Chains A and B, each alone.
Chain A
Amino acid sequence: MKDDVELTREDRVANLKGMGCARKRVEDARFTQGKGNYIDDINLPGMLHGDFVRSPYAHAKVVSINTEAAMALDGVIAVLTAKDLEPLSLHWMPTLAGDKQMVLADGKVLFQGQEVAFVVATDRYIAADAVELVEVEYEDLPVITDPFEALKSDIVLREDLAGQTSGAHGPRKHHNHIFTWEVGDEEATNQVMDEAEVVAEETMYYHRTHPCPLETCGSVASMDKVNGKLTVYGTFQAPHVVRTVASLLSGIEEHNIRVISPDIGGGFGNKVGVYPGYVCSIVASIVTGVPVKWVEDRMENLMSTAFARDYWMKGRISATKDGKITGLHCHVTADHGAFDACADPTKFPAGFMSVCTGSYDIPVAYLGVDGVYTNKAPGGVSYRCSFRVTEAVYFIERMIEVLAIELNMDAAELRRINFIGKDQFPYQSALGWEYDSGDYHTAWDKALKAVDYEGLRREQAERVTAFKQGETRSLMGIGLAFFTEIVGAGPVKNCDILGMGMFDSCEIRIHPTGSAIARLGTISQGQGHATTFAQILASEIGIPADSITIEEGDTDTAPYGLGTYGSRSTPVAGAATAMAGRKIRAKAQMIAAYLLEVHDDDVEFDVDRFVVKGAPERFKTMAEVAYAAYNQAIPGIEPGLEAVSYYDPPNMTYPFGAYVCVMDIDVDTGVPTIRRFYALDDCGTRINPMVIEGQIHGGLTEALAVALGQEIAYDDMGNVKTGTLMDFFLPTAWEVPNYETDHTVTPSPHHPIGAKGVGESPHVGGVPCFSNAVMDAFRAFGLRHSNMPHDHWRIWQTAQDLGLHK
């Protein structure tokens, strides 16, 4: 249609900006010019503003709530308490993990920052003033912040569960116990341990932290009482699930609810769950009949929305004396806080922690997880990782290091001799996963060669000698990590959330002039979906990526999907996109054949056109086909060119990678300096190398944060000690080293385009890599393990405990 300029095939491929192209992110034009549209940018006529009265106590009885003074303030419309929500049965809400959670304090509070009352006012400032005027009388109760103490204590945290000896995931052993989850063969594992030549044991605490997206959580609810429609804008990583849950909870029919996720300023798991603020803004809008906005501040975000990690992990690993691993035993005491609001597929109360056998061929293994209630905020989300995979990979990569110490072996070599071999894929892991593909040895060798691993070890040995001779006060650590992720949840047969199967979807409409719009069930929070999904389609259907609009996040227009987290967008929705594209292509082929007056089988797709086999000068471009699809009567083919695909993945995908960190540590001040960080990632087929690079930089930076200082710390009274960015470590450009990235490509055999997902790999691999570097620096002085976060004083403490400060 457009032009007849002769282009080479290479030019035509380049014009598409399809898969493999380092296409610039189309989102960035608006983000870098301040033209994004985030929750707080949404202002509707007559909109009211909500704000929370929050508990200063971690555990207390709520004796009384007096709202008189607040109500008397000019501009205050309502102050909601649990009593107001109770008639609607909305004072409690179900959690994603099968528990229930208070929306507003119902007689007691269970963590500091818990929502007690919701003030609604005409102005955001008035709402904040009114919060101060709500008088709440508390009677403090004993606080439990330690999960081991919780399991022994007579103090009952959850009276609402009194007498319930069974929860959503089976029997409960104690009134503060939530579930026990077991995978693998404990008896066989114990037997292997008993008979093993070498057994290494270690207990490690993976501290509580928080995803801390730049944009905090918020929502704007608007109930139109005339047409009965409820519209909810919110920071939702899974807008369709929110619509279904909102319908089930409120009784409003699902077609009368429209959920919109606008631009989202980062999620990292924090925006998967449902928060009291969302519910209260909806209720307030239903009650007042006007829109109600709620946006939390940074402190509220850190204190009350979903945390990550908080796993006490006890491991045993057995091996022959030459280092062949024979078994792995892991027990986790999981601190879930006051309510079990973990974001996990229903059947996996500890997520995919059972990928903790890592990248190694371990014949026998066992994993047991006990979930426990404490007086801390609820959550347990997957912070830039697939469900609990960061915990699993940290665990195994520490156990490997500890085993290497026990065996007095080089940790790189120990990994190498235990990797699952390339010819073993698909590999059945001892804890039940089928790893789809991998080539670990090649990646590892490439990584070690790139950093001159032998040379680094020599330099490290020289440093140790110099330190011992008093010539330097600096030590050198070499951090190694090899990770296998499990992402792309997931097959509907075993993955659902609240009963909703974890497929995803794509719907494509080709316009008559040869451009297109595609809508997906996922929602970008910065991942660049509008860029990369257009590239998948460009390659599949031959329309340039620049001519394809990608739209997500509006449940009235997008097909149903389970959202974006756990690196699932490319493995699931990306697959749906490719499959929908192929449906388009199949129909387009019939149209092209008709136009070219040949049989369907006599044309073939070539980049951006259909050509007659053997006669490439006879062709119809996809644009020509699109025009004909709408404007030409073609016998036996209905008009239009659209397709929709719902993709239920046959398996998860298993990205992997090899990371090396070189670090210098100032023994006297505890200050670590990262000299070098090399990251090799294998995410299968690479859609956009530049977007991948950006994802890796971001994930590594969040890994650095977690490994070196980022935590949600509580004192004994359950007070949050790290509630602002003064103390909660969010690295800036200054703290971040230069990253060297590299890759191998091992496509997923079951994914339509072979892609595996990448957004979370660098976080999963990065945390143990940075941590191992710190601990490796002290290996020569007898250190086996020290817990994260490795901030200055803890590193100093490690040196102190080893007697290095004489």
Chain B
Amino acid sequence: MIPAAFDYYRPKDLAGVLALLREHGDDARVMAGGHSLIPMMKLRMAEVPHLIDLQDVPGMSEILISDGKIRIGALVTQYEIIAHEGLAQSAPILREAAMQIADPQVRYMGTVGGNLANGDPGNDMPGLMQCLDAQFTLVGPDGERSVAAREFYEAAYLTARTDDEVLTEITISAPTGGYAYEKQKRKIGDYATAAAAVQITQSGGRCALASIAMTNLSDVPVWSQSAGSALVDTEVGGDAIKAAVAYMLDEIDPTEDNRGPVAFKRHVAGAILTRAIQRAWSRA
């Protein structure tokens, strides 16, 4: 649990970060809270000769809500997500999900940006942001661009972000309707055996819109358009939920690990998603 030697940088602005990335290329990594990267470095599974700490970069630690738009800086911690009353009003699913990430100590340090950019299939925020149809702002040598959360994840630890870019901000349209984040884990601090993020709006007792994503059941988060569509225009009864679950089960691809074999994970995915839909609908 002792990392190899590395150089540590703490630039005062984003330009400084980008300059270091340009200089060191593959050998450099940016770090926000460090709660994924540092353990990997200690296990010597990640070799990072040049570690760039983002903590001193201004303008990346705020939560701004206006005109139905929520902007979350990449350095916002899970704790700040939970503590922010305005956010709890506009997008309560964020608090519900963040409460189920790790433990309080980790949440004081772990950031939304780090959780999203790392590309770890076990992280909760990627699936959640796909459910919310978030946009990620990436800043690189050629300026700024925006990538949809639903387009961002390519494979485990592989994302649309290039090595010389930094994820700086997440933008979400404030969701409406009912929500639920349902997660099964073995213990506090564990990754999900299965987790589901659901947002549903209803109109006249029927589902108007539904967005459904799941976590840690594939090498990337799984947002299933067809699962959501299966609920639309229904009263979200047993058959509709079964149909939505069936679509989702078609799209997930869990692997066996210490949490259990594939058949178990698929079964749990179905149970967790069913409960998430039911809870979200009860709040819609």
Contact = CB atoms under 8 A, between A and B. Distances in A.
B46 to A, nearest CB: 14
B258 A668 contact: no
29 contacts: A125-B5, A128-B2, A129-B4, A129-B5, A132-B4, A297-B2, A668-B267, A668-B268, A668-B271, A669-B184, A669-B272, A713-B258, A721-B258, A726-B190, A732-B103, A732-B187, A734-B187, A735-B187, A791-B260, A792-B184, A792-B259, A792-B264, A793-B260, A793-B261, A796-B260, A796-B267, A796-B268, A800-B263, A800-B267
B121 to A, nearest CB: 14
Given A128-B2, A732-B103, A734-B103, 19 more contacts: A129-B5, A132-B44, A297-B1, A297-B2, A299-B1, A668-B271, A669-B268, A709-B186, A713-B258, A721-B258, A729-B187, A732-B188, A732-B189, A734-B188, A791-B186, A792-B193, A792-B268, A793-B259, A793-B264
Interface in A639-693: 668-671
- Majority SS of interface residues in chain B? loop
A715 to B, nearest CB: 11
Contacts of A792: 184, 186, 193, 259-260, 264, 268
A732 B1 CA distance: 22
Given A124-B2, A125-B2, A125-B5, A729 B186 contact: yes
Nearest to A805: B267
Interface residues of B, number: 24
Interface in B176-199: 184, 186-191, 193
A726 B189 CA distance: 8
Contacts of A805: 267
Nearest to A297: B1
A454 to B, nearest CB: 33
Interface of B: 1-2, 4-5, 44, 103, 184, 186-191, 193, 258-261, 263-264, 267-268, 271-272
Contacts of A713: 258
Contacts of A132: 4, 44
Nearest to A709: B186
A734 B260 CA distance: 22
The 10 A-B pairs at the shortest CB distance, nearest first, are namely A793-B260, A128-B2, A668-B271, A297-B1, A793-B264, A734-B188, A727-B258, A732-B188, A796-B264, A669-B271
A125 B41 CA distance: 13
A511 B274 CA distance: 72
B5 A731 contact: no
Contacts of B4: 129, 132
A670 B264 contact: yes
A144 B4 CA distance: 34
Contacts of B261: 793
Contacts of B189: 726, 732
Contacts, number: 65
Interface string A788-806: 0001110011001000010
Contacts of B260: 791-793, 796
A215 to B, nearest CB: 14
A15 interface: no
Contacts of A731: 187
A298 interface: yes
Interface in A757-799: 791-793, 796-797
Contacts of B187: 709, 729, 731-732, 734-735
A128 B260 CA distance: 34
A722 interface: yes
Contacts of A727: 258
A793 B272 CA distance: 14
B258 A722 contact: yes
A634 to B, nearest CB: 62
Contacts of B2: 124-125, 128, 297
A792 B193 CA distance: 9
B241 to A, nearest CB: 14
Contacts of A796: 260, 264, 267-268
Nearest to B271: A668
A792 B174 CA distance: 36
Interface in A731-754: 731-732, 734-735
A709 B190 CA distance: 13
A582 to B, nearest CB: 49
A800 B264 CA distance: 9
A475 to B, nearest CB: 15
A800 B261 CA distance: 13
Name the residue in A129, A669, A805 with the highest tally of chain B Cβ atoms < 10 Å from its Cβ.
A669
Given A670-B264, A796-B264, A797-B264, A735 B188 contact: yes
Contacts of A800: 263-264, 267
B39 to A, nearest CB: 9
A736 B107 CA distance: 21
Interface string A707-720: 00100010000000
Contacts of B259: 792-793
Interface in A287-312: 297-299
A447 B191 CA distance: 38
Contacts of A129: 4-5
Contacts of B190: 726
Contacts of A791: 186, 260
Contacts of A793: 259-261, 264
Contacts of B103: 732, 734
Contacts of B271: 668-669
A709 B189 CA distance: 15
A5 to B, nearest CB: 49
Contacts of B267: 668, 796, 800, 805
Contacts of B44: 132
A722 B190 CA distance: 13
A732 B5 CA distance: 33
A669 B192 CA distance: 12
Nearest to A796: B264
Name the residue in B5, B186, B191 with the highest tally of chain A Cβ atoms < 10 Å from its Cβ.
B186
A756 B137 CA distance: 66
A721 B256 CA distance: 12
A671 B186 CA distance: 9
Nearest to B268: A669
B197 to A, nearest CB: 17
Nearest to A667: B271
A669 B185 CA distance: 10
B40 to A, nearest CB: 12
A128 B1 CA distance: 9
A237 to B, nearest CB: 24
